[in-house]
A and B are shown apart, each in its own frame.
Chain A
Amino acid sequence: MTRVRVGQIVKRFGDTLAIDGVSLEVRPGELFTLVGPSGCGKTTLLRIVAGLLEQDVGSVLFNEDRMDEVPPYLRNIGVVFQNYAIFPHLTVAENIAYGLKARRVAPDRIASKIAEASRLVQLDELLGRMPGQLSGGQQQRVVLARALVIEPRLLLMDEPLSNLDAKLRVQIRSLIRAVQRTLQITTIYVTHDQEEALAISDTIAVMDRGRVLQVGKPWELYLRPANRFVADFIGTMNVFRGRVEGPGPAAGEQMVMMSFGARWRVRTDEASGAHVSLGVRPESLMLERGGNGGEPWNSLTGTVVEAAYLGAVVRYQMRIADGVEITADIHNPDFAAIRAVGDRLTLWFAARRAVALPGEAGGA
C-alpha cells in the first residue's frame, strides 16, 4: 500500500496560479477526495501526481520514493478519466490487456488477469465487444478494470461519474468504493460534487483557488467547517453575524447579540466584544423546542417568504429581519408543520448546532 505525500506544490499556467503551495498526505489504502468548484486546481493537482503535468515547485512522494523525475509511464499508476478515454479501436479485452502487454506479462497470465479484473467490475460478458457498442456505465467499468489490472501503486480518478446519469452514478459509485475497499488500493478521487465526495471518501480535501482550505473526515467537514467557503460548499449553511456580549450560563458558552436583534447562547472561544459569524444548517432548525432537559436552545422568528413541500422535507425560506433570509428544512413534516407564505413562524435550534466560522468576524 502506498502513502502519497505532496509537498509545497506550485503550478502556474501563464499568469494564473493554478496550485498555490499545496501540501497533502494520503494515507495507505484510503480513498482521498479532492473537492472544489471548477478551476480550483483539483484536476491540475491530480495530473501532477500522475506525472502528466510537471509542477513548477514542490515534490511528490510515493512512500519514500521521490517521483518528481519519474515519467508518467514508469509511475505505475492507474488513471480513470472523466470522459473514459477508452481506446475506441480496441475490444474490451484488448483495452484491459493494454497495460499488461506494455509490461510484457505472459499471455496466459494476461488472460487470467483479464478474467479476474472483468469479474471484479462485472464486465465478464462483454469482453469481445468494441467500445462503441457499450453504454457509458459499461465504458467506465472497462476503464476501471484497465486501470486496476496493472496492480498500480495508486489509483487516480478524475470526475469518473460526471458523464453518467443520476441512477448509474450511484451504482458505479458503490462499485468503485467496493472494489477500492477489496483491493485496499490508495486512491485519489477528484469531483466537484460535494454529495459524491461525502458518500465515497475516507478523507476529503476542499480546494479553492489553488489552495487546500480544509482536510478531514466527511462529517468533520460538515459539522465543523473551518471557514465560510467550506461551510457553503459542503451542504447549505445559514450564516449570521453577531457580537460576543459575555460569558453564558454554562462553561465554554458565550452570549452573542445577533445583528438582527436576537440573543443566542453558543459555544465559542471568542472573547467579549469580538465580532463573530455563526452558521446554522437548515436541518438543525426545528418547529418546536426539543424536550431534552439541560440543553440550551436558541430561537429565530420571521415571516415565510417561500415554501416548498417535497414530501420527506418541507423547505421554508424565511425573512427574519430586513435583508436577512434563512433556509429551514423541516423533516418528516406532519399537517401541523405546514405553513403558507406570509405566515409568522418561530424556529428553534440547539446551541451546540451553531458553528462559529473564523475569518469571517470583521465588519457587521
Chain B
Amino acid sequence: MRGRRRDLWWTVTVAAFLTVLAFLVYPLATVLLTSFSGEEKRFVLAANYQRFFTHRYYYSSIINSLYLSTLATAGALVLGTSLAFAVARYPLPGKPFLRAAANLALLSPPFIGAYSWVVLFGRMGLANRALEPFGWSLPTIYGWRGILLVFVVQYFPFVFLLVSAALRSVDQSIEDAALSLGSRPRRTLCTAILPILAPSLTAGGLLVFMGTMADFGTPMIIGEGLRTLPTLMYGEFMNELGGNPAMASTLGSLLILVNTVALMAQRYYAFRKAYNVVCIQPLRVQRMGRGRLLLLTAFAYAVVGVALIPAVTIIISSFMPTKGPVMYAGFSLHSYQIIFHMVPRAIANTFGLTAMAVVLDVLLGVLVAYLLARRRSRAHALLDSLIMLAYAIPGTVVGVGLIVVYNRPPVILTGTWVILLVSYFIRHLPYPVRSCTAMLQQIDVRVEEASISLGVPPFRTFLKVTIPLMFPAIISGAALAWMTTIGELSSSILLYSGPWATMSVAIFTEVFSNHFGTASALASILILAAFVPLFLTYRFLGERSALGV
C-alpha cells in the first residue's frame, strides 16, 4: 500500500500553521498573558482586571463600547433590512443605482467617514458656516451621537447587501403558502420570511457589532475624548509617559472576549437556524399606491444619499482651497500639490504594502482554501478556525500583540515595514480563504479526478484545472482584501515608524493637525484606490463576483 506521503499539501499545511501561529496565535496569547502581568513584571492574577473594573476611567470604556455597538447594530439592521426589503419587493425606480450606491458606500473606511462629517458639520464645517449668516446653528456632530451616526451610516450597507442576497433565495411559494393558509401579510413576514433570513440578519448584525467594537479611528476623530475600548487601549499603550502594556493588554483581552462571544453566539445561532432553501421563483415585486410608493422612494434615496455623503464630501473638499480646517468655495489643486510634495512616501508605502499583502493573502489563501475544501481533517478544521479568528480580532489588538512579541530578540520587526506587512497579511487572509473555499465547494471533485486519470499529476491538475475554475473567487477575494487593507488604520497607527507611515496614518495626523485639505486629498486617493478594483471586478466578472462579503 502507498503510505500517506509528505506531499506538497503536507508542506502547505505546516507552513500555514506556522504562519498563523507566529503572526496571530502567539501575539494574541502574549496579549492575554500580559494582561495578567504586574507592573514589576510579577505575575499578579487579575490585578489589572480588578483595576479595570474598579476605576471609572477604565470601565466606562467598555460601557461606551458596548452601548455604541449595540445601538449601531440595531440601527444598521433596521436601516439595512428596510432598504433591502424596499428594493427587493417594491417597484422603486432606479434600483441598479440604489444597489451600486450601497456598494460604493463601503469604499471609504469608517474613520474617513467620521472625518467627512466633521468637514460638513464640525465647528468649522461647511454646513455650519453656510448657516452662520442666518444665525442658525446645527446640533453638535461630536460625541457619542456623532459616533453612532457614523457607525450606522458606514455599516448599514453590509446588512443591506447580506439581506438582499438572502431575499433573492426566498421562493415566492413560501409566501404564497403562508398567505393561502390564512396568514395575514404582516404575520407572514414575521413567521415565514424573516425566520428564513435569520442567518443573514445575524451575520450582518455580527459584522456591524464586531466592526464597530474594533473601530478605532471614528471615536478618535469625532468622539471628543469619549473613551471606547480601542481608543483607550491605544492611549494606554502609546502613552507619552511611557505606556502601560499590561493595561493595554487587559483592554485588548476584553475586546477579544466581547467579539469572540458575539462571533460564537452568531455561529451557534445561524448553525441551528440554517435552512436549505431552493429558490425557483424569487419573491414577487408587490404593487403599491402612488403616494406610498413616493414615500418609500424618498426614504430609499435619502438613506442611500446619506451613505454617499462621506465620499462625495471628501472628493469635493479635496478640490477646494483651504486654510487649516476652513474650506472656501472655489477650485484648487493645491491640496494635491502639497501631498505629492510632502507625503509621496506614504502613498508609495500604502500601495506597496497593500499590494504585497494582497499577493501573499491570495497565494496562501488559495492553497489553504484547497486544503480546507478538499482535505478536510481535524487539523484543517483547526486551521480554519484560527484563520477566521483574524476576523474577530480588532486591528488595535493585533498591533499591540505584534509589537510586544517582535520588539525583542530573537526576531525584531518593530521599526521596519515588515511588521506592517505582517499585520495586513494576517488580518485579511480570511477574505481569499473564504471566497475560494465557497467556490471550491461548487467545483466537482470529479473534474479534478478526470484530469488526474487523463495523466496529469495532482499538482499540475491543481494549476491547470482547479486554479482556472477558481479564478472568479480569487479575483473577488483579492479585491476584498485590497479594499479593506488599503485604508487600514487601527494597527497601522501602532505599527508604523519613521518613514513607514501609510496614507491612513497620514490622513489621521493631518486631521489632527487641522490640515483638512491635504486630509481630503489623501482620502480621495484612498477611495479611488479602493473603487478601481471593485469596479473592475464587477465589470469583468459581473454576477460571478462574490463581493457579498
Interface residues of A (CB under 8 A from B): 50-52, 54-56, 68-69, 71-79, 81-83, 85-89, 98-99, 102-103, 143, 146-147, 150, 156
The 8 A CB mask of B459-491 against A (1 = contact, 0 = none) is 010000100110000000000000000000000
Which 5 A/B pairs are nearest by Cβ-Cβ distance?
A99-B454, A85-B446, A85-B450, A102-B455, A79-B453
Residue pair A52, B457 in contact (C-beta under 8 Å): no
Q: Kindly state whether residue B528 has any CB partner on chain A within 8 Å.
A: no
Residue pair A56, B1 in contact (C-beta under 8 Å): yes
Within the complex, the shortest CB–CB distance from A141 to chain B, in Å, comes to 15
Within the complex, the shortest CB–CB distance from A329 to chain B, in Å, comes to 39
Known: A54-B2, A56-B1, A68-B1. A85 touches B454 (CB 8 A): no
Residue pair A52, B453 in contact (C-beta under 8 Å): yes
Task: Given A72-B453, A99-B454, output 5 extra A-B contacts at Cβ < 8 Å.
Answer: A68-B1, A73-B454, A83-B444, A86-B447, A87-B451
Q: Kindly state whether residue B456 has any CB partner on chain A within 8 Å.
A: yes
Within the complex, the shortest CB–CB distance from B443 to chain A, in Å, comes to 9
Q: Kindly state whether residue B452 has any CB partner on chain A within 8 Å.
A: yes
Within the complex, the shortest CB–CB distance from A239 to chain B, in Å, comes to 39
Q: Kindly state whether residue B449 has any CB partner on chain A within 8 Å.
A: yes
The interface size bin for chain B is: 10 to 19
* A51 surroundings in chain B (CB, below 8 A): 453
Within the complex, the shortest CB–CB distance from B160 to chain A, in Å, comes to 32
* B455 surroundings in chain A (CB, below 8 A): 73-74, 76, 99, 102-103, 150
Q: For the complex, what is the distance from the CA of A280 to the CA of B523, rounded to whole Å?
A: 86
* A87 surroundings in chain B (CB, below 8 A): 447, 450-451, 465
Q: For the complex, what is the distance from the CA of A89 to the CA of B448, rounded to whole Å?
A: 13
Known: A56-B1, A68-B1, A89-B468. A150 touches B454 (CB 8 A): yes
Which among A50, A75, A102 has the greatest number of chain B C-beta atoms within 10 A?
Answer: A102
Residue pair B2, A79 in contact (C-beta under 8 Å): no
* B468 surroundings in chain A (CB, below 8 A): 89
Within the complex, the shortest CB–CB distance from B134 to chain A, in Å, comes to 63
Our pick among B449, B456, B457, B460 for the contact of A85 (Cβ within 8 Å) is B449
Residue pair A79, B449 in contact (C-beta under 8 Å): yes
Known: A56-B1, A89-B469. A81 touches B451 (CB 8 A): no
Within the complex, the shortest CB–CB distance from B316 to chain A, in Å, comes to 44
Residue pair B449, A73 in contact (C-beta under 8 Å): no
Residue pair B2, A52 in contact (C-beta under 8 Å): no
* B456 surroundings in chain A (CB, below 8 A): 73, 98-99, 102
The residue on B at minimum CB distance from A50 is: B453
Our pick among B1, B2, B446 for the contact of A81 (Cβ within 8 Å) is B446
The residue on A at minimum CB distance from B471 is: A89
* A71 surroundings in chain B (CB, below 8 A): 2, 457
* B1 surroundings in chain A (CB, below 8 A): 54-56, 68
Which among B449, B454, B460, B465 has the greatest number of chain A C-beta atoms within 10 A?
Answer: B454
* B452 surroundings in chain A (CB, below 8 A): 52, 72-73
Q: For the complex, what is the distance from the CA of A86 to the CA of B465, rounded to whole Å?
A: 10
* A75 surroundings in chain B (CB, below 8 A): 453
* A69 surroundings in chain B (CB, below 8 A): 2
The residue on B at minimum CB distance from A81 is: B446
Residues facing A in B410-446 (CB within 8 A) are 444, 446
Contacts A/B (CB < 8 Å), 17 sampled = A50-B453, A54-B2, A68-B1, A71-B2, A71-B457, A72-B453, A73-B454, A73-B455, A75-B453, A79-B449, A79-B453, A82-B446, A87-B465, A99-B455, A102-B455, A102-B456, A146-B454
The residue on A at minimum CB distance from B3 is: A54
Residue pair A81, B450 in contact (C-beta under 8 Å): yes
Known: A99-B454, A146-B454. A81 touches B469 (CB 8 A): no
Q: For the complex, what is the distance from the CA of A85 to the CA of B455, rounded to whole Å?
A: 15
The residue on A at minimum CB distance from B455 is: A102
Residues facing A in B363-392 (CB within 8 A) are none
The residue on A at minimum CB distance from B443 is: A88
The residue on A at minimum CB distance from B4 is: A54
Q: For the complex, what is the distance from the CA of A101 to the CA of B42, rounded to whole Å?
A: 67
Within the complex, the shortest CB–CB distance from B402 to chain A, in Å, comes to 40
Q: For the complex, what is the distance from the CA of A50 to the CA of B460, rounded to whole Å?
A: 18
Within the complex, the shortest CB–CB distance from A50 to chain B, in Å, comes to 6
Residue pair A143, B450 in contact (C-beta under 8 Å): yes
* A50 surroundings in chain B (CB, below 8 A): 449, 453
Residue pair B457, A81 in contact (C-beta under 8 Å): no
The residue on B at minimum CB distance from A51 is: B453
* A103 surroundings in chain B (CB, below 8 A): 455
Which among B451, B455, B469 has the greatest number of chain A C-beta atoms within 10 A?
Answer: B455
* A86 surroundings in chain B (CB, below 8 A): 447, 450
The residue on A at minimum CB distance from B454 is: A99
Within the complex, the shortest CB–CB distance from B48 to chain A, in Å, comes to 47
